[in-house]
């Protein structure tokens, strides 16, 4: 499966992406902001990439200009423990990560916007949930730009990069919300 934006190709991971993948999964500011430690073993990263390449809606973010993979956006099943007291019927969750070398260039909002369009128009999803660690201000800004509204918070949800616990800010966008802002 492949989606495209002005600057990006969103497609399934391939094992040939390993060098690009390894470049960002070992960054101290990437994985830990998503809730997993930075990789220190390239073979473990390769095993993870093999798993990621088999996921139906796991999109590698490839730059059209040079075909470099710089991150990913995933559309996945929502989990009650991440979204307590939410109606999860006909919903999906979006998760994403981006190489620190490409922060601040608008790539993530561009990629996520296309995945949102795909979920609502092509898959017929009614709502999309997304969350971020309270201390992850960059991720919060991406979600603000895209029009996700805050609907709650999960206290002490995960350990942050500095070893302290952080809340998870829970957001949602319905198909109706999206139709108003697209």
**pLDDT tens profile 60-77:** 999 999 999 999 999 999
Q: Of 126, 13, 129, which Cα lies nearest the Cα of 75?
A: 129
Whether the model clears a pTM of 0.85, i.e. scores above it, the answer is: yes
pLDDT above 80: residue 115: yes
| Dihedral class, residue 73 (left if φ above 0, else alpha if ψ from -120 to 50, else beta) | beta
- Give backbone dihedrals phi and psi of 84, rounded to 5 degrees, phi first: -65, 145
Alpha helices per DSSP H over 26-94: 31-34, 42-53
Write down the domain spans for the chain.
Answer: 2-181
Q: What is the mean pLDDT of the chain?
A: 92
State the pLDDT confidence band at 142, using cuts at 50, 70 and 90.
very high
Beta bridge partners of 72: 60, 97
Q: What 3-state class would DSSP assign to 167? A: strand
Q: What 3-state class would DSSP assign to 182? A: coil
Domain 2-181 has CATH 3.40.630.30: yes
State the pLDDT confidence band at 158, using cuts at 50, 70 and 90.
confident
pLDDT above 80: residue 22: yes
């Amino acid at each position: 499966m492949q989606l495209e934006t002005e600057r990006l190709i969103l497609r399934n991971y391939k094992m040939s992406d390993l060098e690009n993948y390894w470049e960002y999964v070992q960054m101290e500011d990437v994985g830990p902001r998503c809730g997993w430690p930075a990789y220190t073993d390239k073979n473990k990263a390769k095993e993870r990439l093999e798993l990621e390449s088999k996921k139906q809606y796991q999109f590698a973010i490839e730059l059209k200009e040079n075909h470099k993979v710089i991150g990913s956006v995933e559309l996945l099943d929502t989990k009650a423990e991440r979204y307590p007291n939410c109606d999860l019927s006909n919903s999906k969750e979006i998760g994403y990560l981006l190489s620190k070398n490409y922060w601040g260039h608008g790539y993530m909002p561009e990629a996520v916007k296309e995945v949102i369009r795909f979920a609502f128009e092509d898959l017929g999803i009614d709502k999309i949930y997304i969350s971020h660690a309270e201390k992850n201000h960059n991720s919060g800004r991406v979600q603000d730009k895209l029009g996700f509204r805050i609907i709650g918070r999960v206290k002490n949800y995960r350990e942050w990069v500095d070893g302290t616990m952080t809340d998870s800010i829970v957001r949602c966008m319905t198909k109706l919300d999206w139709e108003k802002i697209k």
